[in-house]
Amino acid sequence: MNTNVIENALQNLLKPEFASVLDCRERISSWLTDDCIEENAKQEVIQLIEKKNLAELRDAFYRELEFGTGGLRGVIGAGNNRMNKYVVRRATQGLANYIRKQGPDAMRRGVAIAHDSRHFSDVYAKEAASVLAGNGVHAHLYKTLNTTPALSFAVRALKCISGICVTASHNPPQYNGFKVYWEDGAQIVPPVDTGILNEVFAVKSFSEAKSISFDDGMKNDLIHYISDDVLQNWYQAIQNLRLYPELQSGLKIVYTPLHGTGAPHAREVLRRWSFNDVFVVPEQEAPDGSFPTVKKPNPEEPEALKLAIAHAERLGADVVMATDPDSDRLALVVRDPKAAKGIFAHQALGDYVLLNGNQTGALMIDYVLDGYRTKGRLRPSHKIVKTIVTSELHARICARHGVDIFNTLTGFKWIASLVREWETQGKKDHEYLFGTEESFGYMPGAYVRDKDGIGALAQAAEMAAVLKTRAKTCCDRLVEIFADFGAWHESLINVDLVGEEGAARIGRMMNSMRNHPKTSFCGVPVARIFDYKLCTIQKRDGENFQLSTEKLTLPPSDVLQFELEDGSRISMRPSGTEPKIKFYVSVCTKGTDVVAAHSETLRRIQDLNAEVDAFVAGVK
């Protein structure tokens, strides 16, 4: 690129009208003058300068794209705060430096790599492999796009030291990401995450990334394709979850991968579980990073499921299931016209009911524990794990079966970390059985150490099929659970706050509530405040709160949780993967009339949601 063009662009940044990006000038200058960055990536930035698109320019350069404790996630484009191959190379160099410090055996064991259907995912996967190879670290790639659980399984199956999955999960199409795993197949946790972060931060320029061509990596036996045997073994591990192999199911299933990685795996796994009446939504079956039929490929959102439900209505399907682009999340939708017009009308999509993550999690735990007990396989050593923002209904179900349940921080890396702790400490009386979190995530076995939407899909299908043989739906069973343990419901409030100011406002919200906590919600006093960042518990003492001598034992995390005197809970935390702050509201109402109790629960949820909305509006 002509040096005069670059110099003119940099001179423009000194003009008064560019004052809002003056503090970004050093990063912009480095980008435009770095020989390793190609001309088209420089031209994209120069056009922003020429068009005086200062908001976009600032957002692209006001910081380095944050390499969090799970990896990278951001908008695709040119700039330090964007997902592009240069940022991927630098992050991979940091990972390679950390692996090299572990010694030659770690370098030989290498890194497993998978990518989803998003724009440039295949490019970023190959760039990562090329950097690893350039550092003498072996890379093992799936030949074609693949799922997050398949990546987690491959790390363990191949005995790799680390893993990379190129995905932005369920984010909008303009995003991509780079998730880092360690040798147990889970996303990185302390102390490994800190070690890798330090190495990434130590790579000061894009040109420091050492890379060889992908072809040279293959020729030098440093880059390898993962054999199909690994996938076959993953399928078999899922097959081993089956509780009722004798079941002859007439369940009719509509499934959508939402343009992601799931279709071939869902088809194969369901076939192996003897589900033969399976319809994959044709308009959404092919991988496509533009996600043309949905605004956002998030199976938690009803909008993303409209096409699948329309097909289900025409076919008279019993259930609709959906996975997100990297197939780690699962949505379950149940045909039940009565429930859709009655107790679950607020979740109805025509004659179908979209179960939320807590409801599906409760049903799955109930199904697994009941199935193990029925088959004579349930042992005192079996354990269930959930996260701190997931429904306490799960604990009630476990207590009924005499099974211990454990809480972790939000994210399956913490569930997996607990499992690894049990294994390394040789705790024979702690046998992992099932794990869940509210955001449609389920880890149905220890064969993977992350959410597995494909394995959970097979289990959910068997659960629905078993209930069908008993002339029940999942909604029917949920009402029975409510009759036993109270009518529970949870809501999730997502407040999207993008960019630099959005991040600052999220910080102000957390600081405001931490420094001046609410003492009541909707007139109900707060009984206890759990501050997971400070690891403290405050208990109500009259009109004031006293610091408890009891301490929270989980690793520090920026989460505040309020337990009300009526048992309701309100939790708040910044998202670790998206530019948003999340509020979790949980209420239970007991009564002999389940419908009336559930109606009261929904009313209380609505009131608490309104109070949360008022708090959000009040913090500018």
Render pLDDT for 515-555 as a digit per residue (tens, 0 to 9): 999 999 999 999 999 999 999 999 998 888 999 999 899 99
**Residue among 169, 211, 417, 439 flagged as catalytic:** 169
Q: List pLDDT tens digits, range 162-178.
A: 999 999 999 999 999 99
Helices and strands counted in the chain (H then E) = 21, 24
User: From CA 546, how far away is CA 536, in angstroms rounded?
Assistant: 11
Nearest Cα residue to 255 out of 236, 270, 239: 270
Q: Is 20 a catalytic residue?
A: no
Determine the longest span between alpha carbons in the chain, in angstroms.
Answer: 79
Is the separation of the CB atoms in 284 and 256 below 8 Å? yes
Tokens coding 619:
């913090």
- SS3 readout for 128-170: HHHHHHHCCCCEEECCCCCCHHHHHHHHHHCCCCEEEEECCCC
Angle between helices 148-157 and 453-469 (to 10 degrees): 110
Q: What is the pLDDT of residue 247?
A: 92
DSSP notation for 309-366: HHHHHHHT-SEEEEE-TTS-BEEEEEE-HHHHHTTTGGGEETTEEE--HHHHHHHHHH
Domains with residue ranges and CATH for the chain: 1-62 (no CATH), 65-226 (3.40.120.10), 228-478 (3.40.120.10), 487-618 (3.30.310)
Nearest Cα residue to 355 out of 493, 489, 172: 489
Q: What is the pLDDT of residue 69?
A: 63
Given a cut of 50, the residues of the chain with pLDDT beneath it are none
Is the separation of the CB atoms in 208 and 90 below 8 Å? yes
